[in-house]
Amino acid sequence: MALSARPTWRVNPADPRAPSQEEWDLMSEAERAHVEATLPSEFDLGLEPPEGDPHWTAIANARKTLETFFRRIGRKIYISGGLAVYYPGEEMCSPDLLAVVDVEPRPRTSWVVSREGKGLDWALEVLHAGDAAKDQRNIERYARLGIHEYFMFDRRRLRLSGFRLPPAEHGARSRAYRPIVPQGGRYTSEVLGLELLVEGEKLRFLFGGAALPDAEETIAKLESLLGEALARHEEDARRAEEEARRREELEAELAAMRVELERLKKGQS
């Protein structure tokens, strides 16, 4: 029996990168599977300062808002965050929030562009107490990678900025972002088909001018509806109990009347 050839590609633990597209194309399916299995999906933060609750709360609310909205309208779009993303031959990147349109929204441990057949369409970074210079460098890097739109939400200063790759001549895309000019404080996302703005301390998404409820508001609404349903149930139970009591009283009165009627009939006989 012939032994299967061992994969020739090896991931460098000190600098994990996906193979170039040329190398990927030359691989067998078994070799590609081996590469995907050995590319790290979790990373040590090292000396990078933790961002804290405001940072992660903003990301979690934004992700849940988008997932709920697109699931409700039936649009096929993959939403994730903190995911290891591997472009061919590139250093791994991991936006706080990302979106890829027209792909199945199934769970993934990483996004390997060569495997998926496309890169990211949209990325968001939330800045609170982290490396602001890194988020600024992403403006150049994400543009070079071809991510169509990139948004930055400065949670501490409550500022939002957005960037988009303009269409270039001959159908190719420029590799330099242009700022998205807000209208009335609202930034339009072509990828999501939504508007973004900062409202109070929150990053908001709007559809048709109406704000999408975030996770906290959705939970509060469900709790309110549950409370109303419980109150109606208790009121229905109280009314049913009152009606049962009245039936018992009426039956007792009818029984007494029958007894009295029988007594009167006997007295006349």
Per-residue pLDDT of the chain (269 residues; tens, 9 = 90+): 444 444 567 888 888 889 999 999 999 999 899 888 888 877 654 445 556 677 888 898 999 999 999 999 999 999 999 899 999 999 999 999 999 999 999 999 999 999 999 999 999 999 866 566 666 788 999 999 999 999 999 988 999 999 999 987 545 556 889 999 999 999 999 999 999 999 988 899 999 989 998 766 665 555 555 566 666 777 778 888 888 888 888 888 888 888 878 887 787 76
| Amino acid (one-letter) located at 53 | D
> What DSSP designation does 18 have?
B
> What DSSP designation does 48 have?
S
**Gap between the Cα atoms of 79 and 110, Å rounded:** 12
Residues 6+ away with beta carbon under 8 Å from 100: 77, 78, 111, 116, 118, 119, 120, 121, 122
Second CATH level (architecture) for the domain 21-212? Alpha-Beta Complex (3.90)
SS3 192: coil
CB 160 within 8 A of CB 197: yes
Handedness of CA 256, 262, 265, 269 (dihedral sign): negative
Domain assignments of the chain as residue spans, ordered by start? 21-212, 214-269
**pLDDT tens by residue, 201-215:** 889 999 998 999 876
Q: What is the CA radius of gyration of the chain?
A: 31
Which token pair is 48?
A: 């990078």
Residues 6+ away with beta carbon under 8 Å from 212: 65, 68, 69, 194, 204, 205, 206
**Gap between the Cα atoms of 85 and 220, Å rounded:** 34
